[in-house]
Amino acid sequence: MNELIRTHENETGEMFIGGRELHEFLEVGTRYDKWFDRMKDYGFVENEDYIAKVQKRPTAQSNVTTFTDHHMKLDMAKEISMIQRSDKGKLARRYFLEIERRWNSPEMIMKRALEFADKRVKQLEIEQEQNKPYTNFGLIVSNSDGAINIGEYCKNIFDKHGVNIGRNKMFKWLRDKGYLINTGREKNNPKQKYIEQGLFKSMPVIIARSAGNIQDSTTLITGKGQIKLTEKLLEEIGAGQ
């Protein structure tokens, strides 16, 4: 089948027709913008039946001008072609019907499925490559709730990355970076916004004293927080320091 009017396919596999290309093929005498405004009055809805595309092109005076094109779905292009009531309109409509028939054939459905699968495999390969920095530390940790206290975290990053920073220095580093509250009764507790981001937890604990038990809290670093803080520590301090 000869290509009378060029079609476009988006990333989800939907087929579109350029409004200006259809306008040119139909040999409409009215200027494109006015013609399209009139076509919209037939009940077509932006972002459902078509997408407006603002584009740029050079002028004869070496300037740049902007213009609006519209990517129409196949159903809209068919209906607009029929509305024209011209030989070109009938030809365009038959052409779009044939495209639709071929598009929905078992062979084309299988082809699109294979293409989608191929894209998914490539996407997973990219994600795997991006996740490589996490593998030594344990990607499972980043996806779990494995929250640990500051002392355990200091031991882990020394064992796995050679980052030698003690518990007290780690608390100071976290306060200096703004993750923990710096003064007052809640000193060394995580700030609320970092709890909401899933980096820390504040775990209530009961401390037994002769005058009576009191409630305090322990700062825990979540799996997500361990990944983020380790990245920052490695950038700032470096392994084996």
Task: Say what percent of the chain tops pLDDT 70.
Answer: 81
Q: Pick the closest to residue 226 from 125, 164, 149, 168 (CA basis).
A: 149
Query: Looking at 52-66, 121-135, 146-160, which range is the least confident one?
Result: 121-135
Q: Answer with the residue of higher pLDDT: 10 or 202.
A: 202
Query: Looking at 97-111, 131-145, 159-173, 216-230, which range is the least confident one?
Result: 131-145
Task: Say what percent of the chain tops pLDDT 90.
Answer: 37
Query: Looking at 24-38, 54-68, 103-117, 138-152, which range is the least confident one?
Result: 138-152
**Residue 143's pLDDT is what?**
42
Q: Answer with the residue of higher pLDDT: 212 or 120.
A: 120
In this structure, what token pair is assigned to residue 204?
């209530």
Query: Looking at 27-31, 73-77, 175-179, 209-213, which range is the least confident one?
Result: 209-213
Torsion of CA 173, 175, 178, 182, to 10 degrees: -170
**Residue 203's pLDDT is what?**
81
What is the mean pLDDT of the segment spanning 23-29?
93
Rounded Cα distance, 132 and 147, in Å: 22
Rounded Cα distance, 85 and 77, in Å: 14
Look at the alpha carbons of 228, 195, 178, 156 in this order and tell me if their dihedral is positive or negative: negative
Look at the alpha carbons of 76, 79, 81, 84 in this order and tell me if their dihedral is positive or negative: negative
**Residue 136's pLDDT is what?**
47
What is the mean pLDDT of the segment spanning 178-204?
89
- The structure tokens 């990944």 sit at 227
Rounded Cα distance, 236 and 169, in Å: 14
- The structure tokens 């293409």 sit at 115
Query: H helices within the chain, ranges in order?
Result: 19-25, 32-40, 74-83, 87-103, 106-130, 132-135, 139-142, 150-161, 167-176, 192-196, 223-236
Q: Answer with the residue of higher pLDDT: 189 or 115.
A: 189
8: β partners: 16
What pLDDT, in 10s, does the model give residues 31-47?
Answer: 999 999 999 999 999 99
Residue 73 DSSP SS3:
strand
Q: How far apart are the first and last CA of the chain?
A: 68
- In the sheet with 15-18, reading across from the earlier edge strand, the strands are 7-9, 15-18, 64-73, 50-58
Q: Does residue 212 register a pLDDT over 80?
A: no
